[in-house]
Chains A and B, each alone.
Chain A
Amino acid sequence: AASAPKPLPSSGPKSLREMPHPLATSSSEEMGPALTPSPDLLLPRSIADKDLSLPNGTPVDTSSPASSSSLLNRLQLDDDLDVETRDLFVTVDDPKKHVCTMETYITYRVTTKTTRAEFDLPEYSVRRRYQDFDWLRNKLEESQPTHLIPPLPEKFVVKGVVDRFSEEFVETRRKALDKFLKRITDHPVLSFNEHFNVFLTAKDLNAYKKQGMALLSKVGESVKYVTGGYKLRSRPLEFAAIGDYLDTFSLKLGTIDRIAQRIIKEQLEYLVELREYGPVYSTWGGLELELSEPLEGVSACIGNCCTALEELSEDMTEEFLPVLREYILYAESMKNVLKKRDQVQAEYEAKLEAVALKKEDRPKVPTDVEKCQDRVECFNADLKADMERWQNNKRQDFRQLLMGMADKNIQYYEKVCVT
């Protein structure tokens, strides 16, 4: 919300200004009592904008089309933001295995450092498992349906094919979860979402989850987005273009993923042959006198080449491929948002038509239609804004990614040269 966020009323720790030692606490044990948000807070701040709601009744955060322009302003500011002006930092690290009677799972430490007023404390440290991240994402999708929510790493892993507890898998997942939270942190609207806040701060997330569910059933809201059965006649050009772009984008990324996998496979086969190649020189060296030294030398070099190649393949698998896949998931979820947008527009157009057909003598256009119009425009604006930043970020990400790939290859060759 572009409107200044109201500070959360709290019964526990004092507000920021009254804290004696703002940044003294670091470990999770010293945190104050868990925040149990009062029922008020479960409803987003748009209480003032009660008349605006989406078909399923979930209130929307943005209050009016006017908010989107201030959103764009904020975007401009974001571009110039240096690290120093950011006021929220989130990190995911320290994976730990937990063994219970029912199941075994991994938790990650989520550390938050902030100077925002929405947070009672400047620092938080909590433990979360994948389920919690998944819950957060669903909540965000529900409560901010007009925004692009970053993707999570894949939920399901085929047992037996991938070891869920292997170091590599856990590390890859940790990085993806860290990326996920950082993207939300960077988003001017999503980062102020209170589910996000709770996720970062609550000691007992499960309790909050249960409360949320209870309240939802009280109000009678359905979790799923109701498709009103409206059909969109035509997508406006710009959104159609985005849709096309996303389609091609996913396709190309998919191809790159396959190529990269193929290269890794070929490299591994090459490695197999190299491993046989080196020792033959050694055997030969054993036969010779004068030549034995140079032959042994060649054998050793080949051995080193093998090691370097192994490292290259590992790096590509662990760092390059996951990011590609993440973006593919991102594109998928973005396409879904586009579809939702289409829905909203369709509803608006249908209602508009209905009114026109009725030909009633009304002094003003019914608020119903007005609402729809607003909604559509909000959606469009949000989407556009998000797309812009997404494009920006994507560019940065890919730049880094491909440069990283190039770097790795360079390193490989340098290592080989040295031997």
Chain B
Amino acid sequence: MEDCLAKKLEITVSEAEKRTGRNAMNIQETYTAYLIETRAVESQSEGQCAPVDSLWRRYSEFELLRNYLSVTYPHIVVPPLPEKRADFVWHKLSADNMDPDFVERRRIGLENFLLRVASHPVLCQDKIFYSFLTQEGGWKEMVNETGFQLKADSRLKALNATFRVKNPDKRFTELKHYSDELQSVISHLLRVRARVADRLYGVYKVHGNYGRVFSEWSAIEKEMGDGLQSAGHHMDVYAASIDDILEEEEHYADQLKEYLFYAEALRAVCRKHELMQYDLEMAAQDLTSKKQQCEELATGTVRTFSLKGMTSKLFGQETPEQREAKLKILEEQIQEGEEQLKSKNLEGRDFVKNAWADIERFKEQKNHDLKEALISYAVMQISMCKKGIQVWTNAKECFSKM
């Protein structure tokens, strides 16, 4: 396995800052800039601290980078960016892009994105990516100069357009189906989880009211007073604990979200294959019809009905010279067509091979990551319960002293 950039370079997105500036349309706007810091790993092992390089980037530049990578490496499942707008929020979370919690989670997401790209065997070698991390000025121009926008297939953007593909690779069809289902199930999960979080928040917070009432009640009691008062305190602790618990859970939600967006990337690769296959089949079809035309012209027989045939019947046949000329053109076209078909075929096969390799890599990564995410979720739940047990045990002790 080639050495990934991630092993040579330490990458962090360490800070986020609010900025104001003028955008392309010369309108004043507020945006958040993120500080990317890089440091060479090798020199650290020698006991020296390598200097830290840093530069600021905003979200739109990350987007540009990702678009570039998706177009340039269509057979790769390109890591996704954190969400553009806050989605799947439950009532306590803000949907505001400027909200500090949202910015913080986005910062983590962007760092994660860079690390994923840096540890991908193919993507990490890209020069544009490297410049993104190290070259502050002129990077945008550099990207645009690659002309990648021209390579972009606008058809890919029409996500739901169907192409009648006769012989797609079955694996890709299944995979596309899988990615659709995965997207659907994870979104459903995230939605319900947000509602669950909301409700749980309610349960915990209402217990805080106990704290208040117990305190008031203890004021009129003699022997029961102390016990009630301290129990009330524990109820307050219980109510307050939910904030931390749910913050941790957001991290789990973010991990799921990453794979929700990854599913989209997966789907894009399948679509690319579909398109390539479609183009291939169209080209083959075109070649066949041209060959047929050639044959007809050469033998003079009209096998299939054509307008040409009709007009020639009505208005007389072409001159032999005209026919010769036509034949020549057709033969050239056929030659071209056959070469194109060959290269398309080759392209297609290469694509399938490379894409499938990356897909396998992706599958392994996904299984590993999600398993870890589920385990840490379970650990979170257990710790939440243990806290609950502790609080109620303390409360019970207070009650027993009443």
- The interface of chain A, by Cβ under 8 A from chain B, is 245, 248-249, 252, 255-256, 259, 262-263, 266-267, 269-270, 272-274, 276-277, 280-281, 283-284, 287-288, 290-291, 294-295, 298, 301, 391, 395, 398-399, 402-403, 406-407, 409-410, 412-414, 416-417
Contacts and interface: CB of A to CB of B under 8 A. Distances in A.
Report, as a range, how many residues of chain B touch the other chain. 35 or more
B395 A417 contact: no
Q: Among the interface residues B199, B200, B386, B393, which one has the most CB atoms of the partner chain A within 10 A?
A: B199
Interface stretch (B50-58, B205-213, B318-326): B205-213
Interface in B101-137: none
A263 B206 contact: yes
Interface stretch (B178-186, B282-290, B309-317): B178-186
A417 B385 contact: yes
Interface in B50-109: none
Across chains A and B, which 8 residue pairs bring their CB atoms closest together, nearest first? A406-B396, A270-B199, A413-B388, A402-B399, A252-B217, A409-B392, A413-B385, A266-B202
Contacts of A294: 371, 374-375
Interface in B183-209: 185-186, 188-189, 192-193, 195-196, 198-200, 202-203, 206-207, 209
Interface in B365-380: 367, 370-371, 374-375, 377-378
Contact of A416 (B181, B193, B202, B385): B385
B223 interface: yes
B24 interface: no
A375 to B, nearest CB: 29
A255 B371 contact: no
Given A245-B220, A280-B192, A398 B402 contact: yes
B203 A398 contact: no
Q: Is the interface of B mostly helix, strand, loop or mixed?
A: helix
Given A249-B220, A266-B202, A403-B400, 7 more contacts: A273-B196, A281-B189, A284-B182, A284-B186, A290-B367, A409-B388, A417-B385
Contacts of B182: 284, 287
B381 interface: yes
B224 interface: yes
A252 B402 CA distance: 17
Contacts of A248: 217, 220
Contact of A269 (B178, B199, B382, B389): B199
B203 A280 contact: no
A280 B393 contact: no
Contacts of A281: 189
A291 B371 contact: yes
B370 A291 contact: yes
Contacts of A263: 203, 206-207
Interface of B: 178, 181-182, 185-186, 188-189, 192-193, 195-196, 198-200, 202-203, 206-207, 209-210, 213, 216-217, 220, 222-224, 227, 231, 367, 370-371, 374-375, 377-378, 381-382, 385-386, 388-389, 392-393, 395-396, 399-400, 402
Contact of A273 (B189, B199, B207, B222): B199
B185 A283 contact: yes
19 contacts: A245-B220, A255-B209, A256-B210, A259-B206, A262-B209, A270-B203, A273-B199, A280-B185, A280-B189, A284-B186, A290-B367, A298-B377, A395-B223, A399-B400, A402-B402, A406-B399, A413-B389, A416-B385, A417-B382
